[in-house]
Amino acid sequence: SQTIHQWPATLVQPVGSPLSLECTVEGTSNPNLYWYRQAAGRGLQLLFYSVGIGQISSEVPQNLSASRPQDRQFILSSKKLLLSDSGFYLCAWSWGALGIQYFGAGTRLSVL
Amino acid sequence: AQTVTQSQPEMSVQEAETVTLSCTYDTSESDYYLFWYKQPPSRQMILVIRQEAYKQQNATENRFSVNFQKAAKSFSLKISDSQLGDAAMYFCAYKEEYGNKLVFGAGTILRVKS
């Protein structure tokens, strides 16, 4: 069966520090991968998605970037965090036409 | 661009009762997919139910069912025999038939009273 791992679960970072959040999927090949951000009590904002290695689509201009160095690995990065980058970050994967997305457990990022 | 609207920011239901969450969407496509996701306090997103637009029959998963009205572009979720564990944020989502992205609504917080 397929599983998705996302880490860390919680992260507290100072303003101006770098960021790296990692997401990996097991049990499937060539999945679509997604990064979302969710503010407290709000909906999901799609940040990036990828349909293959090295293929990244950015949905919202911002201080973040994404990379997909391997088929089942998706990384969210920032060179210098801003206070506004605080939030809950979710990774998800999907496969096939039906496009059901399966989500990781999320990372709670606090930028202080 | 497609949009998904959930007009109820919060809903409450008594345990064992039935509640319906509303969702409308805007699209010019004829074939697409619709989903309801649940986000409990743990914040893990869980798929509740899905509906293919080409299917006229409403999807059902145990206590969860949908009322899919294609002409009205409406996709409501009915939860029967509500349980305390149903308390969560519920998101409606839309996907084009060959698209890669989900478009989410803003969510509805469901509170279950004992």
Q: What is the mean pLDDT of chain A?
A: 93
Q: State which residues form the domain around A29.
A: 3-111
Q: Establish if B44 touches chain A: CB-CB under 8 angstroms.
A: yes
| Residue A94 touches chain B, beta carbons under 8 Å | yes
Specify the pLDDT at position A40.
79
User: The tokens 């008594």 sit on which residue?
Assistant: B14
CA distance A82 to chain B (A): 23
- B70 reaches A (C-beta below 8 A): no
Report the pLDDT value the prediction gives residue B100, as an integer from 0 to 100: 84
Q: Does B42 touch chain A (CB under 8 A)?
A: yes
pLDDT block averages, 10 residues each, chain B of length 114:
93 98 96 96 94 94 97 97 97 91 94 97
Specify the number of domains making up chain A. Answer: 1
A65-87 confidence digits (pLDDT tens): 999 999 999 999 999 999 999 99
CATH number for position B37: 2.60.40.10
| pLDDT score recorded for residue B2 | 84
Structural domain that includes position B71? 3-113
DSSP B63: T
Given CB atoms, is A98 within the 8 Å cutoff of chain B?
yes
Nearest CB neighbour to B106, from listed A43, A90, A103: A43
Which member of B42, B45, B105 has the closest CB to residue A90? B45
Q: Which residue has the tokens 């979710």?
A: A90
- Torsion over CA of B27, B32, B37 and B43, rounded to 10 degrees? -80
CA atoms within 13 A on the CB side of B71: 0
Kindly determine whether residue B100 and residue A43, on different chains, have CB atoms separated by under 8 Å.
no
Quick check: A47 pLDDT over 70? yes
* DSSP 8-class letter at B84: G
| Six token digits for residue A109 | 């990022």
The total number of structural domains in chain B stands at 1
A1-15 pLDDT, tens digit per residue, is 889 999 999 999 999
Give the residue on A whose Cα is nearest the Cα of B104: A44
Supply the pLDDT for residue A61: 66
In the prediction, which pLDDT does B98 show?
Answer: 85
